[in-house]
């Protein structure tokens, strides 16, 4: 997900527990996507680790603002707002995995398109997000029913970490997108910064599950000689 804003894709960085954990590369729509730079990034990680996990927003685009996914689509579908249909097809994953296979010669490459899973999987709902969503609903009723006001309820951070709920005119939020600030994206354009992780951490609620690592002596592959 991420037509114009990369917050959700960038959040995948929070799953990293060790320096060599994935995602090793993250590409967001706030930066132009360069095919050659992408292949170079992948090769460097793969040569170093023997693997490379990549998180990509569906809305990545070239320097002209053209969505990368449209390179595969002969007939581009658009919604009622004129937006190019980006999700639900897996076309972007197919395009990028094809690039890696054909240009880098890496044969085992797989692309997974999560689709609605990240919006609807109740097993990983943030307790903070769950609580704040309910508060927003209650505030909307208070503003509308008790005070007779209309608008959109917004969440504002105060303190460390507390929030305040306010009512703003619909005209100030409708049809507008809040994108990732520059300080949240690494200079390389292929990862996020510590500032983003610091911003996101309070929103996760309970700590993420810790993934165990096996520690065992390496076993030589069949036919391989010990040096």
pTM, two decimals, is 0.83
Task: Give a yes or no: residue 220 inside a domain.
Answer: no
Beta strands in 18-70 (DSSP E): 25-27, 54-56
Asked if the structure places residue 217 within a domain, the reply is: no
Specify whether 60 is located in the same domain as 139: no
Cis peptide before 34 (omega within 30 of 0): no
Residues 14 and 58 in one domain: yes
Distances (CA, A) of 111 to 12, 91, 107, 159, 210: 16, 10, 13, 41, 24
**Bridge partners, residue 166, by sequence:** 154
Asked if pLDDT for residue 226 goes beyond 70, the answer is no
**Stretch among 65-74, 105-114, 151-160, 183-192 having the lowest mean pLDDT:** 65-74
| pLDDT tens figures, 46-88 | 999 999 999 999 889 999 888 888 875 554 565 555 555 555 5
Question: Are 165 and 205 in a shared domain?
Answer: no
Helix (H) or strand (E) holding 136: helix 127-141
Mean pLDDT across the chain? 86
Q: Which residues contact 227 (CB under 8 A, 6 or more apart)?
A: none
Within this chain, do residues 128 and 109 fall inside the same structural domain, yes or no? no
Q: What SS3 class is residue 158?
A: strand
> 83 and 147: one domain?
no
Angle separating helix axes 35-49 and 91-99, nearest 10 degrees:
70
Of the candidates 54, 53, 73, 65, the one whose C-alpha atom is nearest the C-alpha of residue 29 is 65
Domain tally for the chain? 2
CA proximity to 188, closest of 20, 11, 33: 33
Residue 165 structural domain: 124-176
Judge whether 224 lies within some domain.
no
Q: Indicate whether 67 and 87 sit together in one domain.
A: yes
**146 assigned to some structural domain:** yes
> Is position 221 within any domain?
no
């Amino acid at each position: 997900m991420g037509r114009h804003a990369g917050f959700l894709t960038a959040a995948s960085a929070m799953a990293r527990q060790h320096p060599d954990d994935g995602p090793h590369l993250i590409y967001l729509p706030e930066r132009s996507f360069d095919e050659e730079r992408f292949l170079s990034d992948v090769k460097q990680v793969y040569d170093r680790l023997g693997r490379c996990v990549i998180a990509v927003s569906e809305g990545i685009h070239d320097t002209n603002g053209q969505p990368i996914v449209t390179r595969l689509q002969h007939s581009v579908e658009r919604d009622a707002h004129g937006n190019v249909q980006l999700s639900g097809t897996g076309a972007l994953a197919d395009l990028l995995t094809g690039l890696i296979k054909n240009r880098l010669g890496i044969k085992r490459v797989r692309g997974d398109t999560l689709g609605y899973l990240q919006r609807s999987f109740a097993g990983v709902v943030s307790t903070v997000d769950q609580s704040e969503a309910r508060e927003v609903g209650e505030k909307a009723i208070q503003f509308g029913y008790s005070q007779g006001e209309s608008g959109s309820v917004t969440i504002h951070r105060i303190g460390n970490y507390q929030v305040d709920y306010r009512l703003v005119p619909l005209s100030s939020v409708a049809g507008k997108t809040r994108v990732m600030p520059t300080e949240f994206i690494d200079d390389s354009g292929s990862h996020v910064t510590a500032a983003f992780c610091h911003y996101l951490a309070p929103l996760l609620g309970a700590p993420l599950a810790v993934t165990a690592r096996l520690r065992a002596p390496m076993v030589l592959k069949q036919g391989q000689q010990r040096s």
